[in-house]
Structure 1
Amino acid sequence: MSERSHHTIREAIRDRISSGEWAPGALMPGEVDLAGEYQCARTTVNRALQSLAEDGLIERKRRAGTRIKELPVKRARFEIPLIRQEVEATGAQYRPHLLLREVIDAPNAVTARLQMKTGNRALHLQTVHMADGAPYAYEDRWVNLEAASGILDAPLDKISANEWLLKHAPYSSGDVTFSATPAGPGEAAALDIAEGEALFTIDRTTWQDNLHVTTMKLYYRPGYKLKAQV
C-alpha cells in the first residue's frame, strides 16, 4: 500500500478540527504520534501541518507543540489558474503564442527571487495566451532549470509553460502579489492595447520544498476579474 500524500493527511486533520475532536486552544498530538496513526512518514505529517498553519487553523511553536487556534483565521485560497481552462471556460479556443524562449544568465533580481547562485542560467519565456486568436493575457516567466530541466524539451508552442510546470514540476508553496500596473511598451504590444492602460497583474514565485521553480508576471487585458473562495 502506497503512503498517503500530505494533501490527504491535511484534509483528514482538517476534518477532525472541524468536527470538534480538538477544541480551540487544545494541544494536538505530536508529529510522531500522528505519523504512527496515519502510517506515514513524519515529513508527510509535517507538510500537512505546515499547510494547515498557513491556512490559519493551527499554531505551531517549537518545543511548545501544535495547538488549535482559539480564533481560526479564515483566509482566501488562491489556486494557480490553468489559463487554457480559463479560456476554454469562456467558449473560446486556446493557443499559447511563444514570443521569446532563451536560456541565459539570470539577472540579479531573478537570481534573488529563485534563490539561485549568481551566474546560473535560467529559461526566460514570454508568452501571449490567445483566445480565439486574440490576446487574453501576457506572461513573462523565468524558470530555474535545476528544478525543471525537462522543460527544455517541452513543446511550449503547443502546451504553455503554465500548464507544463503544473503537471511536471508541481509547487508546494509560493508567494503572490496582485496589483494594477500601467501597460508598458512590451505589454501593450503583446496585448494589442494602448500604453498606460491599467492591467490586472499577478506577480508570483513558486517552489517545491526548498527548491524554487519559477517566478513570473502575468498581465491580463483590461476587464479581467479574479474570483477566489473564502
Structure 2
Amino acid sequence: MARRIAERVWAPGALIPGEEVLAVEFDCARATVNRALQELARGGVLVRKRKAGTRVALHPMREARFVIPIVRQEIENKGGIYQFRLLSNQVEKAPQSIAERLGLAKGKAMLHVRSLHLSNSKPYQYEDRWVNLDAVPSIRHETFETISPNEWLVTHSPFSQAEIVFHAALADPEEAAILDVRERDSVFIIERLTYLPQKPITYVRMIHPGSHRMVTQL
C-alpha cells in the first residue's frame, strides 16, 4: 500500500479500497490490513474517518514524507555526467554498531553494498550501505550492474519513517582513497536510516568531499 501511494497509483486525496477488498486482494486477514492502515495513518500518509473511509493525505510528502534523492538525478540536474562504480556487494554479518543502530540482533546477516557515485568522472559520493533482508528480501539477488542501490531502493522500497544525521568529519584512509582526497581532509557526511512500521530497511553512510554543497528547497 505504501508503494502504491509513493508511486501515485493512489493519488493524494483518493479514496482507497475498503479493508475487506484489500484483505481479499492481499490474501490476508482483515485485522492485518487494519493494522497496516493504522500505521500508515500514524505516519501521516493516510487520513481515516469513521463512516467516510480512508483517503490518501492531500499533502503526504510535505507533512510526513521526506523525498530521498536519486543521486543520478541529483548529478544530472546539476549538469554533470553521471557514473557509478560498484565496489562490493555481499551478504555478511553486521557489525555490532550497525545492528544496534537498526535495532537488530547481534551478528544479523545483512546485505552490505559499497559504491561510488561520480560526476564528470570525479568522485561525488561514497555510499556505504547495509540493508535488512527481512524488510527487502528481493534485493538479495540484485547485481547492481545497471542501477545503483540508492536508485533501486527509492523505486522498489517505500518507507514510512526516516532518521537523518548531517555532520562533518575527517576522512579515514579508506574514504580518502575512494574519494581521491587526502587522509584527514574534511568530508561532509549524511547518515540515513529508513523504516517500515516496526521494521528497519536500511542504514546508509554517504560521504562527500568537503567541497560538497547541499541545497534544500521547500
TM-score, normalization by structure 1: 0.69
Indicate the residue corresponding to 2:68 in structure 1: 80
Describe the shift of the 1:52–1:208 C-alpha distance in structure 2 as closer, same or farther (beyond 3 A). closer
2:190 is the counterpart of 1:195: no
**For 1:47-126, what aligned pairs fall within 5 Å after superposition?**
47=39, 49-52=41-44, 78-126=66-114
Count of residues paired in the alignment: 186
CA contact (8 A) 1:10 1:52 kept: no
**Larger CA Rg, structure 1 vs 2:** 1
Greater shift, 111-120 or 38-47, is seen at 38-47
- Of 199, 205, 212, the residue aligned with 1:211 is 199
Indicate the residue corresponding to 1:59 in structure 2: none
CA contact (8 A) 2:116 2:125 kept: yes
Indicate the residue corresponding to 1:129 in structure 2: 117
Describe the shift of the 1:197–1:172 C-alpha distance in structure 2 as closer, same or farther (beyond 3 A). same
CA contact (8 A) 2:171 2:186 kept: yes
CA contact (8 A) 2:115 2:127 kept: yes
Indicate the residue corresponding to 1:153 in structure 2: 141
SS for the counterpart of 2:140 is helix
**Quick one: which amino acid aligns to residue 84 of structure 1?**
R
Distance 1:170 1:201 in 2: 23
Distance 2:158 2:207 in 1: 22
What's the CA shift for 1:141?
0.7
CA contact (8 A) 2:89 2:113 kept: yes
CA deviation digits over 1:139-179, x for unaligned, max 9?
Answer: 11111111122212223132111111111122111101001
Structure 2: which 5+ runs fail to align? 20-33, 46-61
What's the CA shift for 1:106?
1.1
Structure 1: which 5+ runs fail to align? 13-36, 54-73
